[in-house]
Structure 1
Amino acid sequence: MKKYFYFLSLLLLLVSCTEDIRFNNPAFQTLKDNAFWRAQVYEAGIETNDFFVIEGALGYEQIKLQLPEPDKKTYILGINDDVKAIYKDTYKGQEAEFSTGTGKGTGEITVTEYNTVDNTISGTFKFTAVNSDQNAEKQTMHFSEGVFYKIPVTQGPNFVPVNN
């Protein structure tokens, strides 16, 4: 009888251990040079230059993904200036800008869902961006496993880009 009691106690202990699931709804996050980076502020919309942008910011740091339109597909970076990714650090004394564009940087942005009913956009990204300062010590920055999930899309002229 003792064996059954101990067995049931052990079984109950194992079954009661659960893993807490944390939902990130919405989210904009990536690995920046293999360090976890999660935006506190994020938004998407059409800028005055008619490009669709998805932005995330954490303090003085900002990531901007620029697309010609928010269609569900994979956009390749480093081919032209219509599709590009930009990272900016505006902290005084540490200002830096890394970007992709025509003939510089590599990567991709994949839009997996553009919900026009709820006005949200989701997808993934990864890219290697080049420093705009050719004399800087650090010339490239790598972003991997990037995710933007259910980022709110501002429609029309009310879209104001994230500025630091």
Structure 2
Amino acid sequence: MKKIALLFLTMVTLLSCGNEVEFNTPGFQGNKDYNLWRATYFNATIGTNGMVTITAGNNNESMIFTVVSSNTGTYTLSDATISKANFVDFNDTVYSTSNTPDPSVTIYPEIGEIVITESTPGTLTGTFRFNAFTSDGLNSVGFNEGVFYRVPIIN
């Protein structure tokens, strides 16, 4: 009887284990104000001048990165650089790293960055983090621990 109970317990244990692994290849997501934000569409384009535009979004919000090159490396996002991040929320409020924050919000704005870790023919992979402000500098949105993986480059 003990052997049957042990066999039954072993079978239940083996059969109840799930294999529900989800793959997000390719993918684009980040922590927006410390909440998971995931894009349902994303792509990248390279202009004739070499500038890269990465576009991502979901049903309610979108973001656009503009980076000076598709080469691997770290690109700074601030009001003093060409590379920038723009984010449009569900209320159509536009936030940009090109906007300077109001001094009542912060005197020392955090400088964001995009790190392209892999640039293969046809895809880009990397990480990002930034704080972006509205044009009046009074409101902000922040992304930390963002990642984009094998974002397709379209022509």
In 1, Cα distance between equivalents of 2:74 and 2:26: 21
Contact 1:66 1:85 in 2 (8 A): yes
Match of 2:126 among 102, 110, 123: 123
Gaps of 5+ in 2: 101-108
Change (3 A) 1:65 1:23: same
Give every structure 1 segment of 4 or more consecutive aligned residues whose post-TM-superposition deviation is greater than 3 Å.
Answer: 47-50, 101-105
TM-superposed CA distance for 1:7, in Å, is 2.1
SS at match of 1:37: strand
- Please show how residues 34-113 of structure 1 align to structure 2 within 5 Å: 34-47=34-47, 50-78=50-78, 80-89=80-89, 94-101=91-98, 105-113=110-118
Q: What TM-score do the two structures reach when normalised by structure 2?
A: 0.80
Gaps of 5+ in 1: 156-164
In 1, Cα distance between equivalents of 2:126 and 2:69: 14
Root-mean-square deviation over aligned CA pairs: 2.3
Aligned to 1:3: 2
Change (3 A) 1:36 1:102: closer
Q: How many residues align?
A: 146
Contact 1:28 1:148 in 2 (8 A): yes
Q: What TM-score do the two structures reach when normalised by structure 1?
A: 0.76
Aligned to 1:132: 135
